Amino acid sequence: MTKISNNHVLAADIGGTNTRMAVVNENGDILALLKKTTYCKDGRDKMIKFIVSCAEETIKESRLPKEEICGMGIGFPGPLNVETGTIFNPPNLNGWDNIPLRDILEKELRVPVAIENDANAAALGEWWKGAGSGTSSLFCITLGTGVGGGLVMDGKIWHGASSIAGEIGHTTVIRDGIQCTCGNIGCLERYACSGGILKRVNDALLREGDHAGLQPLKDLKQVSHMVMQGNEIVLNIIKETGVILGIAIANIANLLNPEIIVLFGGVTNLGENLVGPLKEEVNRRAFKKATESLRIELSQLGDNSGILGAAKNILSKL
Amino acid sequence: MTKISNNHVLAADIGGTNTRMAVVNENGDILALLKKTTYCKDGRDKMIKFIVSCAEETIKESRLPKEEICGMGIGFPGPLNVETGTIFNPPNLNGWDNIPLRDILEKELRVPVAIENDANAAALGEWWKGAGSGTSSLFCITLGTGVGGGLVMDGKIWHGASSIAGEIGHTTVIRDGIQCTCGNIGCLERYACSGGILKRVNDALLREGDHAGLQPLKDLKQVSHMVMQGNEIVLNIIKETGVILGIAIANIANLLNPEIIVLFGGVTNLGENLVGPLKEEVNRRAFKKATESLRIELSQLGDNSGILGAAKNILSKL
């Protein structure tokens, strides 16, 4: 028998809305890719069955014999314990309090499983095969329904003392700012997540605009559309969002001095109107020595960041 | 001949005002300690001669034969390149532009020399033998003439891509705040360094107080004195300084999730009036999961932090 020298692993990016699963080899090639709506409405046990059946379907699609799958890496919504693979109460999933997901899946699938926070998985993916490839330090900011972050230093995710490191979304950018769901005030997330931007745009249109009869905008596509139509009020909120993100990123630059900061998630679709003012603010606030050695770039892997990070995470443990 | 199993090193903490030098063994015991006013008024070459003569004097005082000194560690004002031991333009020292201090001292003293930024050396000292002993992650904040920081992760100083990591003093805490010497506005340093506190106290006394005839306060001892006399205006500025420090530290807690944050430097002599509001603000702003696993403590080593960190730095390279 020839020894298979190229390890293959299952890699999953499981969210409250979508699940992506793939078979990935040591080079980061994706051999099979499954995309499903996460089946979570009937509770935890059914969702675990859904994960197992996705795993089996993905392996089948890869046409590899099951014995050649050496492990499974998962990106999952936090909070969770990365050492034990136990899930605590993710905000968008019910019944997931203190569930030893890693142990359950290892029993079902009979391979080693490693679970990582989804924002950290995306960061590791971008470091391994994306915008941060070849760097030794990376901070990845996820700008979507929430604002998360993941920190890769010397090729390893930094978890901190209780696995919550990276929470840039809950750093204070405006001392007396907007009340946040986390209990703090003036958190970055309230200004830069999709819902936060939408609320600020609608508030500004109501306050400043001649829009008495207008329905509130419902998503960032409509926001982008109004910017393209030349709406200055909306444009100013997007620019202001870039500036506020720039404050938080300048703080990261001076504090951690990373080689690259990767911007990831749906909010980045706002494009140069957001990213331009963001970069200007970083250059205005951070040390020249920090900005000279810093690249700020958009995600290269997009929706595959999490899968590739999850794959790298389990591969590095085999 | 018996092999000496316990390495001895020279360790120095060299500032623009004071120089401390010691012989330290592998256990962190200080065998001889020299304290001098830094001789820097006649330029760089004379200052280097001063450093060499301090080194020889310290070795002599330790009564160890010179051959038993295996290396020298130095904490020096940044910016500097820790890889090459080259000093760039420290703000309080003239003529130190691009000086290969490590190479010069290795030639003079004929032992390996390692140079570290002074704030990082203090952080490493507190991690090795001070308040952070036994932890795996520490952030040390130096509150003195300036506000600096050093980050120890898994027992190693994190330098970042261009050796400036740790600059918490130049993270923005007040978006539209006081203009800083670094070019940014609203930097922590402007509120929490000794000069910044003094200025804010004197401004408040002028503005709010019945102190038309009063001379401006000259140092933090006078500030403490007025607090002890029950001056509410001064007390409120100290409390406000604690709150502002708390914002920056809460950001560190959520971002890096360290086990301990060590407060170091003369400003900490303001005591509980500063540290109490600081801790309250951290608890108010940071995630419970981050604060539950976080200790905030004063330096245990005081003036010896830098020496012990410099010693650990060279010992880990031998």
Q: What is the pLDDT of residues A110-152, one digit of tens each?
A: 999 999 999 999 999 999 999 999 999 999 999 998 999 999 9
Record: contact B252-A255, CB cut-off 8 A: yes
Q: How far is CA A290 from each of CA A280, A281, B52, B79, rounded to the nearest angstrom?
A: 14, 13, 33, 12
Q: How far is CA B292 from each of CA A154, B127, B150, rounded to the nearest angstrom?
A: 27, 20, 22
Rounded distance, CA B140 to CA B163, Å?
16
Which has more pLDDT, B1 or A139? Answer: A139
Per-residue model confidence (pLDDT) at position B78: 84
Record: contact A165-B294, CB cut-off 8 A: no
Highest mean pLDDT pick, B87-91, B126-130, B226-230: B126-130
If DSSP states are collapsed to H, E and C, what string results for A76-128?
Answer: ECCCEECCCCEECCCCCCCCCCCECHHHHHHHHHCCCEEEEEHHHHHHHHHHH
Q: What is the mean pLDDT of chain A?
A: 94
Which residues of chain B lie closer than 8 angstroms to A163, CB-CB?
257
Chains A and B form CB pairs within 8 A to the count of 134
Record: contact B285-A163, CB cut-off 8 A: no
Please tell me whether residue B228 adopts helix, strand or coil conformation: helix
How far apart are the CA of A22 and the nearest CA of chain B, in angstroms?
30
Counting Cα atoms < 13 Å in the Cβ hemisphere of A197 gives 33
Number of domains in chain B: 2
Record: contact B160-A251, CB cut-off 8 A: no
Same domain, A152 and A256: yes
Q: How far is CA B164 from each of CA A28, A75, B116, B257, rounded to the nearest angstrom?
A: 33, 32, 11, 20
Chain B interface includes A141 (CB < 8 A): no
**What percent of chain A clears pLDDT 70, i.e. is strictly above it?**
97
Mean pLDDT of B115-135: 97
Q: B2: pLDDT confidence band, cut at 50, 70 and 90?
A: very low
Q: Answer yes or no: is B1 within a domain.
A: no
How far apart are the CA of B180 and the nearest CA of chain A, in angstroms?
10
Same domain, B178 and B292: yes
DSSP conformational letter for B48 = H
Residues 183-222 of A with CB under 8 A from B: 183-185
Same domain, A75 and A94: yes
For residue B250, pLDDT beyond 50: yes
Same domain, B99 and B31: yes
Rounded distance, CA B202 to CA B223, Å?
9
Mean pLDDT of A275-299: 97
Per-residue model confidence (pLDDT) at position A91: 77
Q: The CATH number of the domain where A256 resides is what?
A: 3.30.420.40
Same domain, A53 and A89: yes
Same domain, A272 and A176: yes
For residue A260, pLDDT beyond 50: yes
Tokens of B77: 């004002």
For residue B96, pLDDT beyond 90: no
Chain B interface includes A13 (CB < 8 A): no
How far apart are the CA of B36 and the nearest CA of chain A, in angstroms?
32
Chain A interface includes B153 (CB < 8 A): yes
Q: Answer yes or no: is A3 within a domain.
A: no
Question: For residues B47 and B39, is the Cβ–Cβ distance under 8 A?
Answer: yes
Chain B interface includes A160 (CB < 8 A): yes
Nearest to B60 by CA among B27, B22, B28: B22
Record: contact B171-A258, CB cut-off 8 A: no
Same domain, A162 and A258: yes
Q: Which residue type sits at B107? A: K
Which has more pLDDT, A84 or B2? Answer: A84
Per-residue model confidence (pLDDT) at position A121: 97
Rounded distance, CA A156 to CA A153, Å?
5
Per-residue model confidence (pLDDT) at position B212: 59
Record: contact A289-B79, CB cut-off 8 A: yes
Q: Give the dihedral of Cα atoms B50, B53, B55, B59; nearest 10 deg.
A: -160
Q: How far is CA B287 from each of CA A29, A147, A148, A168, A248, rounded to the nearest angstrom?
A: 37, 15, 14, 12, 17
Which residues of chain B lie closer than 8 angstroms to A184, CB-CB?
250, 284-286
Residues 77-116 of B with CB under 8 A from A: 79
Q: What is the mean pLDDT of chain B?
A: 94
Chain B interface includes A284 (CB < 8 A): yes
Scanning every residue of chain A, which has its alpha carbon at the shortest distance from the alpha carbon of B282?
A: A184
Q: B131-164: per-residue pLDDT in tens? A: 999 999 999 999 998 999 999 999 999 999 999 9
Q: Which residues pair with A9 in a beta bridge?
A: A24
Rounded distance, CA A99 to CA A93, Å?
12
Per-residue model confidence (pLDDT) at position B13: 97
What is the extent of the structural domain holding B49?
A: 8-124+304-315
Question: For residues B288 and B252, is the Cβ–Cβ distance under 8 A?
Answer: no
Same domain, B308 and B255: no
If DSSP states are collapsed to H, E and C, what string results for B165-212?
Answer: CCCHHHCECCCCCCECCCCCECEHHHHHCHHHHHHHHHHHHHHHCCCC
Among A250, A255, A289, whose Cβ lies nearest the Cβ of B168? A255
Same domain, A143 and A89: no
List the single best residue of B152, B257, B288 to mutate versus A (max A Cβ within 10 A).
Answer: B257
Q: Which residue type sits at A302? A: G
Which residues of chain B lie closer than 8 angstroms to A290, CB-CB?
160-162, 164, 167
Please tell me whether residue A48 adopts helix, strand or coil conformation: helix
Which residues of chain A lie closer than 8 angstroms to B292, CB-CB?
162
Range list of H helices, chain A:
44-62, 101-109, 118-129, 188-192, 194-208, 220-228, 232-256, 272-285, 288-292, 305-315
The gap from C-alpha A217 to its chain's centroid, in whole angstroms, comes to: 25
Q: How far is CA A309 from each of CA A30, A38, A115, A220, B279, rounded to the nearest angstrom?
A: 12, 19, 11, 27, 36
Counting Cα atoms < 13 Å in the Cβ hemisphere of A56 gives 9
Per-residue model confidence (pLDDT) at position B68: 95
Q: Which residues pair with A157 in a beta bridge?
A: A152
Q: Answer yes or no: is A1 within a domain.
A: no
Question: What are the DSSP calls for A185-207, one per residue?
Answer: BSBHHHHHSHHHHHHHHHHHHHH
Q: How far is CA B308 from each of CA A15, A47, B27, B234, rounded to the nearest angstrom?
A: 47, 54, 10, 35
Which residues of chain B lie closer than 8 angstroms to A241, CB-CB?
none
Q: Answer yes or no: is B267 within a domain.
A: yes
Same domain, A76 and A210: no
Burial B23-41 (b: 16+ CB within 10 A, else e): bbbeebebebbbebebebe
For residue A231, pLDDT beyond 90: yes
Neighbours of A304 (CB within 10 A): 24
Record: contact A149-B182, CB cut-off 8 A: no
Chain B interface includes A252 (CB < 8 A): yes
Q: Answer yes or no: is A92 within a domain.
A: yes
For residue A90, pLDDT beyond 90: no
Question: For residues A306 and A122, is the Cβ–Cβ distance under 8 A?
Answer: yes
Which residues of chain A lie closer than 8 angstroms to B250, CB-CB?
171-172, 184
Mean pLDDT of B62-74: 96
Q: Answer yes or no: is A227 within a domain.
A: yes
ipTM comes to 0.94
For residue B70, pLDDT beyond 70: yes
How far apart are the CA of A224 and the nearest CA of chain B, in angstroms?
27
How far apart are the CA of B246 and the nearest CA of chain A, in angstroms?
11
Q: Answer yes or no: is A82 within a domain.
A: yes
Which residues of chain B lie closer than 8 angstroms to A185, CB-CB?
285
Chain A interface includes B285 (CB < 8 A): yes
Strands (E), chain B: 8-14, 18-25, 30-37, 69-76, 80-81, 86-87, 113-117, 137-143, 147-153, 156-157, 260-264, 295-298
Q: Answer yes or no: is B3 within a domain.
A: no
Question: How much is the pTM?
Answer: 0.94
Burial of A65 (0-12, 13-18, 19+ CB in 10 A): exposed
Neighbours of A275 (CB within 10 A): 18
Tokens of A108: 């079902």
List the single best residue of A135, A157, A175, A187 to mutate versus B (max B Cβ within 10 A).
Answer: A175
User: Under 8 Å CB-to-CB from B112, ≥6 apart: which residues?
Assistant: B70, B71, B72, B106, B314, B317, B318
Please tell me whether residue B76 adopts helix, strand or coil conformation: strand
Q: A1: pLDDT confidence band, cut at 50, 70 and 90?
A: very low
Rounded distance, CA A46 to CA A267, Å?
32
Scanning every residue of chain B, which has its alpha carbon at the shortest distance from the alpha carbon of A157?
A: B256
User: Under 8 Å CB-to-CB from A170, ≥6 apart: which residues?
Assistant: A180, A182, A184, A187, A188, A189, B254, B286, B287
Which residues of chain A lie closer than 8 angstroms to B294, CB-CB?
161
How far apart are the CA of B34 and the nearest CA of chain A, in angstroms?
33
Same domain, A295 and A151: yes
Rounded distance, CA B134 to CA B220, Å?
33
Per-residue model confidence (pLDDT) at position B211: 62
Mean pLDDT of B50-65: 97
**What percent of chain B clears pLDDT 90, i.e. is strictly above it?**
87
Q: A141-175: per-residue pLDDT in tens? A: 999 989 999 999 999 999 999 999 999 999 999 99
Which residues of chain A lie closer than 8 angstroms to B258, CB-CB?
160-161
Burial of A316 (0-12, 13-18, 19+ CB in 10 A): middle
Nearest to B139 by CA among A249, A165, A172: A165
Record: contact A170-B256, CB cut-off 8 A: no
Burial B60-91 (b: 16+ CB within 10 A, else e): eebebeeeebbbbbbbbbbbbbbeebbbeebe
Question: For residues A236 and B147, is the Cβ–Cβ distance under 8 A?
Answer: no
The gap from C-alpha A183 to its chain's centroid, in whole angstroms, comes to: 22
Q: B269-311: per-residue pLDDT in tens? A: 999 999 999 999 999 999 999 999 999 999 999 999 999 999 9
Record: contact B257-A290, CB cut-off 8 A: no
Which has more pLDDT, A48 or B215? Answer: A48
Tokens of A95: 């019944």
List the single best residue of B156, B171, B181 to mutate versus A (max A Cβ within 10 A).
Answer: B171
Rounded distance, CA A196 to CA A173, Å?
14
Per-residue model confidence (pLDDT) at position A211: 62
Same domain, A98 and A13: yes
